Amino acid sequence: VAVVPGWESQGCWIDSVGDRTLQGTYNAGGTNSAQSCLLFCTSGGFAYAGMEYSIECFCSNAILAGTSAQDAADCNMACNGDKSEFCGGSNRLNLYQVTSTATSSATTSAPPSAEPLPTGWTARGCYSDSLAARTLKTFFSIPGGAEAMTVEACVAGCASSGFTIAGLEYAQECWCGVEHQNGGQAVSSPETNCYMPCKGNAAEICGGPDRLNVYAIGDPLG
């Protein structure tokens, strides 16, 4: 039974850390439940939602080719935010698909459409950062402030100011640079490090605590 109107359960599906079944966006936390995950994916206008490992929520508009449904008993972990609901298992997703009702609702409340990145800029992954020793040294204030933060706004701001690296952190911060400093490195398991939705567009990810979603042009990261 769907816990949010307009969504239908598709059963228990396989997942992999290295090749996610749902690759749109990600959220996680101790309050994760089937309801909160479905609402999160609805807010981004996504067609699929999946809960995994009690605390993880994934959204996408497509299911990765080659993945498949598994035994329902494999999705046996209670949601951290509601023990009466199931939120997948280890490498297992409780998968839901949106219906036409939820699609129309999501469409009206969807975040702004993403603008293209400046020519030549690409995503480079999730990097470590520190309040005491910044990986990117220049803080950039976008028009509209923290509440308007999106990937495109940050990257465009850094690019127009002559920087070659942009990083988004903690859902609302934009940092620029021409090199990464103070030992900032790409981190393993980016989906559990860079997981916070951007304040200006919940369908995008803007880093995490002490973690940067990094974008760059050329090869400034070495």
Q: What value does the mean pLDDT take over residues 65-93?
A: 92
**Amino acid residing at 143:** P
Domain residue ranges in the chain: 7-109, 121-217
pLDDT of residue 100: 60
**Amino acid residing at 4:** V
- Please give the Cα distance from 159 to 58 (Å, whole number): 30
The pLDDT of residue 108 is above 50: no
Higher pLDDT, 60 or 167: 167
Q: What value does the mean pLDDT take over residues 55-82?
A: 90
pLDDT of residue 1: 45
pLDDT of residue 111: 41
The number of beta carbons lying within 10 Å of the beta carbon of residue 30 is 8
The pLDDT of residue 13 is above 90: yes
Q: What value does the mean pLDDT take over residues 139-165?
A: 93
- Please give the Cα distance from 121 to 159 (Å, whole number): 9
Q: What value does the mean pLDDT take over residues 25-37?
A: 83
Residues near 66 by beta carbon (within 8 Å), at least 6 away in sequence: none
Query: Poorest-confidence range of 12-21, 34-43, 54-63, 112-121?
Result: 112-121
The pLDDT of residue 106 is above 50: no
The pLDDT of residue 104 is above 50: no
Question: From the CA atom positions of the chain, what is the Rg in Å?
Answer: 18
pLDDT of residue 66: 82
Residue 150 banded pLDDT, cuts 50, 70, 90 = very high
